[in-house]
Chain A
Amino acid sequence: MAPSILSSKTWTTIEIPPRSVTADTDTDAKRRWFREELGLYFDPFALLDAGTDPYLPQYLVGQRAMEQLWGDWPSFLFAPPGGGKTAFRVWLTRVCRTGQDGRRILPVVLAPPRPEEPQTPLPWERYIEALSHAIAASLLLDLAYQPSSSLTPQSFPYPQLRPSRFFDLSEDERRLVRLVLERDLPMPLDYLLDQIADEGSLAPWSRTFDPPSLGLPNEPAAESLRAFCKAMRRAAPTPSSQLPERGEKTIQTLRTILGYSAVYLLVDEADAYIQDPKAIVRLLKPLWAKTTAWSRQAVFVKYFLPEEVRSKIPAKMLTGPTKCVIIQWEPETLVQVVRERLRIASEGMFRSLIAISTPDVNEDIEFQLARALQPPIPREMLRLLQRVFFVHLQRVGPYGRLQQEDYAEALAWYPGR
């Protein structure tokens, strides 16, 4: 299955190949080599884009920064491109979905609208459109995840402990939710319901909306999902149903009827289409203007931005209740990135490149690689490791362990690529 991404403008699913230098050799022979000789059940270094990596939550590192993001306050996280912004966003989305600290928070991942002309500000309507799509997609996933359909008042007589989700809503409230979804989802609701009812899992939506959300704990069983789809289809709107305005009004309505204590608006991929920090600032300004007012309504904006933007942000935005996190990668943490990926790919068998290298490789090889990185960020580590495997495949083929020559050649290639 090739990874998919969403274009924030069109909201259609497009297929892209993994951005990997070893992609052309990703054959059965390579897979067999990985599995049978190296003991790796998948290539943990294949995907450079965290947003497309379904295994990402399993090998996240850097939890100290996460503490600054989890809470009812606006926050800014700064990191260079490839420096883990999306990984931290994925983590925050996940803890919201799983109800960290027993809280109920709706995570909304917002990719700012694509500017047509970097010098020209976009109209607010474009932001509202992107926001509405993002809210609807997140809401649908949240409602389907743990729909608690099998918990009837008879079998579960603890109303205060029921997970307040779609099945606990009145008929009118269900209709209203359905109306919001029909209006704001980027694709037809019934089509999306068919997808999960057919597959019996949330995987089709995860693949479409947010690949790293695959494998949430305790996902509903197939029959629970089908019951949810059936109930959602039955909630046909009546002509009298009143729709709240898109954006803020919709958020507040949903918060009230579904009992979310807060909404976290996670603004990521502002640098997906433009690299100029001034243009990024221009793109984000309309959202900054709303950040404080939204906080008062329990909508907390969490920005995940490239490091170069930091100096362009007005100081008052970064002070007060706002928390600011700057991600800096040390060799030790970059080595941890490699080791955690190997741990998961080997199903816990080992956690070092030494386990798949010949005896001519010194045991500090991960540190040697980490110290060579320019800049020192996880994406560069992945690129360098992809090169190591590429060199081995070119020199030797899909056989044997990685050799000192593979590392040496990759390191020699790296700075002058």
Chain B
Amino acid sequence: MERLPLVYNDPYFVDREEALAVVLDKARALLRGEPVRNRTTTYYGPRGSGKSWLLRELHHRLQNTPEFQNQVTSLFIALGPATAGVPSDGLHVPADKTTEKWVNEAADLFKNIAQKLGMGQPPTPGADALATYVIAGCRLQGCPVVIIVDGVDEMPPEFLRELENHFLAPLSPEPYVLFVLGGRIRDPRKYAWKMPELRLYADEVWLKPFAEEDTREQLKRLSSLGLSPKAAPEVQKAGNGYPLSNVVLATHLEGDPPQWRDKGAALRECADLLLENVTPPLRDYFRALCVLRSFDEMRMPPLLAVWSGTPAEYWDYQCCRRIREDMVATRLARWGESQGFVMDEAVRVVLENDLRENEPQRWRALHRAAYGLFTDWANRYPTAKDRWMPEAEYHQQFI
């Protein structure tokens, strides 16, 4: 796994031009002296969708392309584990502190930002006054300032409250400051962005999986690591085109035309990587629920019962609610529009393919349980038949 390029390396960066243009066009407008209304841009995407790489690429282009070089100030702040690495001129706040330290941690960050903006060493006032230094620092640049914050959802609510209240919100009215935020979900864990400044004047970009030709291009650029662009169709089918899964799966294909060495092992390795930060009991719940297109406390019991071989009554509402909250806290699951909670598609597809390949009977039993549940609901609740019948039909095709 060490040989996989998880840390950003600009020659390997593929696609995402459209997503990059959202911010670069705003920077161009500011350079032309045109006002920009939505000065915040937020990039969302599941684990392995390439958010951190995209933000690093953005920082790289703002610093190195002639149209922006020395005309735009770009500041990079990495929060949490920063698996894509931190640029040499960036700031990093790891997510391994104890709870009570977060307010000080945030104040230290603001002080470092003020210094990066040329404000010298501010004294040690409270976070409220530090915001004044940061605002002044931005104004002193005399040019557009792009503040890139990666991993906003990696941090605890105590830190996010400070970040929003004393940094993002006070700076957001500044006409020459652009914010670029990256995270897996719209609202970070146990914290909802509260300031209208960040919600009403923001563009949201959801990073979709690569199309097959982009996967092919990605593998081509990684050919020095032994990956073959010809593997793209198989990789795409197994992992749905998410950049991280593409790389992991492609290492398990060899020959011309590429053949799986062991498809089951490839999918299991990819699934394990996607769930690497999830503790063992919770991992099982992700696997048990991966056949569902959406879930909530009322849909979970029959599947958890099949998975664990226990009666469905064992999985009561409060128990399922705790599990659901823990799953959402990993940011690998979130509320999905109006149908219920959904697992990240990048994760769900790999988990289900892993299950189908390595434990086909269990996989079928889970679909059977889901089919039984939704058929029962479609019959029992005529007011919601339109909602549950398509779900029953979906699961029926797999049993």
Contacts and interface: CB of A to CB of B under 8 A. Distances in A.
Contacts of B37: 67
A102 B384 contact: no
B319 interface: no
A363 B173 contact: no
Interface string B366-399: 0000000000010011011011100000000000
A155 B124 CA distance: 10
Contacts of A156: 132-133, 136
A375 interface: no
A348 B338 contact: no
A354 B190 CA distance: 20
A58 B37 CA distance: 19
Contact of A359 (B192, B195, B335, B384): B384
B123 A100 contact: no
B128 A362 contact: no
B170 A354 contact: no
Nearest to A335: B338
A101 B173 contact: yes
A347 interface: yes
B194 A354 contact: no
Contacts of B196: 57-58, 60, 91, 94
Given A343-B192, A354-B340, A361-B383, A349 B335 contact: yes
A46 B26 CA distance: 40
Interface string A206-231: 00000000010111110110000000
A217 B126 contact: no
B47 interface: no
A349 B123 contact: no
Contacts of B318: 36
Given A63-B200, A98-B197, A221 B132 contact: no
A115 B128 CA distance: 43
Contacts of B125: 150-151, 155
Interface in A237-261: none
Contacts of A57: 194-196
Given A156-B136, A217-B195, A95 B386 contact: no
A348 B192 contact: yes
A326 to B, nearest CB: 20
Nearest to A400: B317
A344 interface: yes
B129 to A, nearest CB: 5
A348 B197 contact: no
Interface string B104-142: 000000000000000000110111110111011001100
Nearest to A91: B196
Nearest to A103: B173
A206 to B, nearest CB: 15
B296 interface: yes
A66 interface: yes
Given A95-B173, A404-B384, A354 B200 contact: no
Contacts of A358: 298
A101 B35 CA distance: 9
A146 interface: yes
Given A218-B166, A223-B126, A351 B335 contact: yes
B45 interface: no
Contacts of A100: 173
Interface string A37-54: 101000000000000000
A405 B61 CA distance: 57
| Residues of B in contact with A, size category | 35 or more
Nearest to A351: B335
A363 B196 CA distance: 27
B132 A151 contact: yes
A218 B169 contact: yes
A204 interface: no
Contacts of B298: 358-359, 401
Contacts of A99: 173
A358 B335 CA distance: 16
A28 interface: no
Contacts of A151: 125, 129, 132
B165 interface: yes
B187 interface: yes
B191 interface: yes
Nearest to B339: A363
Contact of B190 (A60, A91, A347): A347
Contact of B296 (A95, A346, A355): A355
Nearest to B125: A150
A40 to B, nearest CB: 12
A350 interface: yes
A351 B132 CA distance: 35
Contact of B173 (A67, A98, A404): A98
Contact of B187 (A343, A352, A362, A364): A343
A118 interface: no
Nearest to B136: A161
A217 B170 contact: yes
A158 B383 contact: no
26 contacts: A66-B200, A98-B170, A100-B173, A101-B35, A102-B173, A102-B174, A150-B125, A151-B125, A155-B122, A217-B169, A217-B197, A218-B170, A220-B128, A223-B126, A344-B192, A344-B194, A348-B190, A349-B335, A350-B335, A358-B298, A359-B299, A359-B381, A359-B384, A362-B386, A363-B384, A364-B338
Interface of A: 36-37, 39, 57-58, 60, 63, 66-67, 91, 94-95, 98-102, 146, 148, 150-151, 155-156, 158, 161, 163, 215, 217-221, 223-224, 343-344, 346-352, 354-355, 358-364, 366, 401, 404
Query: 4 tightest CB-CB pairs across the interface, nearest first?
Result: A348-B187, A217-B169, A348-B192, A360-B381
